[in-house]
Chain A
Amino acid sequence: MDPISQVNPVLDALRKQLAENIERLRKAGKLGGAGRAEQPRGAAEGLESVLRRRLSPLDRRSAEGLAAATRTFVEAVLVAEFGQGLVSDPAFGDMLADLSASLREDAEMREQLDRMLAAL
């Protein structure tokens, strides 16, 4: 893997290109100028605060509890990123189950998740 540092000039150049391409798509009519409600990105309550509140009732000592906590974590993160509207989507549950299960199937990811969940 090549860790990409925050001051990586290659990534900076790609970001510039990305912004130009988005503008080009916008001018070509591929992007509308309005229509969708603003995404509630960066909600007033910080992510860690949300996670502590939502995880506190969960028993994280068993495998089942850690799996449930992982699902709660993924849900909170995705809602913070993409908006509260996801919660009302009937397919979101399947998506959460798939994402959290696949993350826990990987030993390295599971270890990091458990370490993070224990710290919250």
Chain B
Amino acid sequence: MSDAAPQDAAPEASLWERFAAGDAEARGQLIERYLPLCRMIAASIYGKRVADDAEFADYMQYATLGLIEAVENFDWKRGVQFNTFATYRIQGAIRNNIANFSERREQIGLVVRLKKERLESIKLAAEAQPARRGKSTGLVRDMAEVAVIWALSYLLEGSGMLAPRAEPHYVEQFYDSLELRQLRDRLVGLVDALPDQERRVVKYHYFQNLEFTEIAKIFGVTKGRISQIHKRALVLLREAHAIAGGLDLRL
């Protein structure tokens, strides 16, 4: 089912009821509903950081993991506001993980890991493309497809910093230049046009900085399956850009 705004699709109480009954789709919708809260808390703590050990991407990742844990542990029948319950969980998840961050600096950074799994995912992107460019053949066409899909991934990378959010004070100029910025904004806008599954994977991965393994847990599927959906999402995003090409996005 396609819906650009799934968080508004159902009343919250019914989502909790469905989740309690084991509905995985309701779980995903609950998590998505509170992603803006996550971003706000991550931004707030990031804005008050005293060291630059970790990047904003790390704060967002820990915040989202805290949110997932909060959703899984919340008892909606007690009448407590989920916002209140989740805020403490999210703050705790960020602070606990960031506190340990310097101990794990020798490990590969999150950004590097995300990039690596993206590249693995798109390696066969060319196979997903229809033969629409008869003039370019064989390996050249395949490699060109990979280069374009890889560029789309690059442009989406870090877009979580620029996505609509509650606290704009920490916004940084990701691209000071107009052309790339406009292209990136168009792509971010077109993410909402993707089919439901592909849109959710892109948002979790690029806007919330979740690794494929973490998204796989939310979806209840394997990491390999998420990798496939990610690849297909970028292929479709390219097609969406071609369909809507030349149009302004008013975001």
Which of A37, A42, A48, A85 has a CB less than 8 Å from the CB of B137?
A48
Mask, B123-136, CB within 8 Å of A = 1, is: 11001101101011
Q: How many chain B residues have a CB neighbour from A under 8 Å?
A: 59
CA distance A47 to B142 in the complex (A): 12
CA distance A47 to B224 in the complex (A): 33
Query: Quick one: given A73-B143, A108-B123, A109-B123, are A21 and B192 in contact (CB under 8 Å)?
Result: yes
Contacts of B123 in A (CB 8 A): 1, 106, 108-109
CA distance A95 to B236 in the complex (A): 22
Q: Are B140 and A47 in contact (CB under 8 A)?
A: yes
Contacts of B51 in A (CB 8 A): none
Q: Are A116 and B227 in contact (CB under 8 A)?
A: no
Query: Quick one: given A18-B239, A22-B193, A46-B135, are A78 and B151 in contact (CB under 8 Å)?
Result: yes
Which of B135, B176, B240 has a CB less than 8 Å from the CB of A18?
B240
The interface stretch among B89-97, B164-172, B212-220, B243-251 is B243-251
Q: Are B127 and A25 in contact (CB under 8 A)?
A: no
Q: Is B175 an interface residue (CB 8 A)?
A: yes
Mask, A1-25, CB within 8 Å of B = 1, is: 1111110000100110111111011
Q: Are B128 and A31 in contact (CB under 8 A)?
A: no
Q: Is A59 an interface residue (CB 8 A)?
A: no
Q: Is A51 an interface residue (CB 8 A)?
A: yes
A11: min CB distance to chain B, Å: 7
Q: Are A77 and B189 in contact (CB under 8 A)?
A: no
Q: Is B99 an interface residue (CB 8 A)?
A: no
Q: How many chain A residues have a CB neighbour from B under 8 Å?
A: 65
CA distance A1 to B195 in the complex (A): 20
Query: Quick one: given A29-B250, A91-B177, A92-B180, are A18 and B236 in contact (CB under 8 Å)?
Result: yes
Q: Are A2 and B143 in contact (CB under 8 A)?
A: no
A78: min CB distance to chain B, Å: 6
Q: Are A2 and B228 in contact (CB under 8 A)?
A: yes
- Which residues does B use to contact A, with CB under 8 Å? 2, 4, 115, 119, 123-124, 127-128, 130-131, 133, 135-137, 139-140, 142-144, 146-148, 150-151, 154, 175-180, 182-183, 189-190, 192-195, 198, 224, 227-228, 231-232, 235-236, 239-240, 242-251
- Which residues does A use to contact B, with CB under 8 Å? 1-6, 11, 14-15, 17-22, 24-26, 29-39, 41-42, 46-49, 51, 73-74, 77-78, 80-83, 85-86, 88-92, 95, 98-99, 102-103, 106, 108-109, 112-113, 115-116, 119-120
Q: Other than the known A25-B192, A30-B192, A77-B148, what 17 A-B pairs have Cβ atoms closer than 8 Å? A: A1-B227, A25-B189, A25-B193, A26-B247, A31-B248, A31-B250, A32-B249, A46-B136, A48-B136, A80-B144, A82-B183, A89-B179, A92-B177, A95-B154, A99-B147, A112-B143, A116-B139
20 sample A-B contacts, Cβ–Cβ < 8 Å, listed by A number:
A2-B228, A14-B236, A17-B2, A18-B243, A22-B190, A24-B193, A25-B190, A26-B244, A33-B247, A34-B248, A41-B245, A74-B147, A82-B183, A91-B175, A91-B176, A92-B179, A102-B119, A103-B146, A106-B119, A113-B143
